[in-house]
Amino acid sequence: MTLPLAEPEALAPGTLRVTPLGGLGEVGRNMTIFEYDGKILVVDCGVLFPEEHQPGVDLILPDFEPIKDRLDDIVGVVLTHGHEDHIGAVPYLLRLKGDIPLIGSGLTLALVEAKLKEHRIKPFTLTVKEGQREQVGPFDLEFVAVNHSIPDALAVAIRTPAGMVLATGDFKMDQLPLDGRITDLRAFARLGEEGVDLFLVDSTNADVPGFTPTERSIGPVLDQVIGKAPRRVIVASFSSHVHRVQQVIDAAHAHGRRVAFLGRSMVRNMTIAEQLGYLKVPDGVLIDYKKARDLPDDQIVYMSTGSQGEPMAVLSRMANLDHAIEPGPGDTVILASSLIPGNENAVYRVIDGLTKLGANVVHKANARVHVSGHAAAGELIYCYNILKPKNVLPVHGEYRHLIANAKLAQDTGIDEERTIVGSNGTVIDLKDGVARVSGQLDIGFVYVDGSTVGEITDADLKDRRILGEEGFVSVIVVVDSTTGRIISGPEIHARGVAEDDSVFDDVAPKIVAALKEAASNGVRDNHALSQIVRRTIGRWVNQKLRRRPMIVPLVIEA
Q: Which residues are annotated as a binding site?
A: 56, 58, 81, 83, 85-86, 148, 170, 239-241, 370-374, 396, 449
Alpha carbons 173 and 370: distance in angstroms, whole number: 16
Compute the residue count for the chain. 558
Taking a C-beta distance cutoff of 8 angstroms, is the pair 370, 364 a contact?
yes
Judge contact between 100 and 124, C-beta under 8 A.
yes
* Whether 304 contacts 314, CB under 8 Å: yes
**Binding-site residue set for substrate:** 239-241, 370-374
The residue among 269, 238, 280 whose CA lies nearest residue 112 is 269
**Could you tell me which residues are annotated as the binding site for Ca(2+)?**
56, 58, 449
44, 184, 243, 374: the catalytic one is: 374
Phi, psi torsion values for 246, nearest 5 degrees: -60, -45
Beta-carbon contacts of residue 320 (< 8 Å; ≥ 6 apart): 353
Strands of the sheet containing 360-362, edge to edge, are: 258-262, 300-304, 233-236, 332-335, 360-362
Calculate the CA dihedral of residues 211, 175, 87, 250 and round it to 10 degrees.
-110
Q: Which of 199, 102, 105, 104 is nearest to 157 (CA)?
A: 199
Which residue type sits at 108? Answer: T
Q: Which of 74, 97, 72 minimizes the C-alpha distance to 21?
A: 74
Residue 374 bears catalytic tag: yes
Q: Residue 159's beta-bridge partner residues?
A: 140, 164
**Which positions ≥6 away from 76 have C-beta within 8 Å?**
41, 42, 100, 101, 102, 103, 126, 136, 137, 139
C-alpha to C-alpha distance for 362 and 336, rounded to whole angstroms: 8
CB 71 within 8 A of CB 54: no
Give the H/E segment covering residue 486.
Answer: strand 486-495
CB 54 within 8 A of CB 61: no
Which amino acid does the sequence have at 60?
Answer: I
User: Among the options 44, 202, 250, 429, which is catalytic?
Assistant: 202
Active site residues: 202, 374
